[in-house]
């Protein structure tokens, strides 16, 4: 349970620091047989700050719960 808590804390801190992620998709616009035209589109996915705070709090809670119950 402590490992899950640590992972949640790390992911939560990363969410607070980066506040989202970006990915690129490629799309075919025109296909004329031997010739084709493609375009790349960049998408931004924002992660709200409260998600990071919730993840950090859940991670700390899991770590505390695991240490009090005596499980590794």
pLDDT-based confidence at residue 32 (cuts at 50, 70, 90): confident
Structure tokens at 21: 């992620």
Mean pLDDT of the 31-53 span: 93
Residue 70 has pLDDT above 60, yes or no: yes
| Span 1-30, average pLDDT | 93
* Size of the chain, expressed as the number of residues it contains: 72
Is the separation of the CB atoms in 59 and 8 below 8 Å?
yes
8 A C-beta contact, residue 12 and residue 53: yes
Q: Is pLDDT at 65 greater than 80 in this prediction?
A: yes
Q: Is-contact 8 56, C-beta < 8 A? A: yes
Tokens for 35? 């010739």
């Amino acid at each position: 349970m402590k490992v899950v808590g640590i992972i949640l804390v790390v992911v939560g801190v990363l969410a607070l620091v980066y506040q989202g992620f970006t990915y690129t998709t490629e799309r075919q616009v025109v296909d004329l047989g031997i010739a084709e035209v493609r375009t790349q589109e960049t998408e931004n996915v924002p992660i709200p700050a409260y998600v990071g705070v919730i993840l950090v709090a859940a991670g700390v809670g899991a770590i505390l719960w695991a240490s009090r119950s005596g499980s590794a």
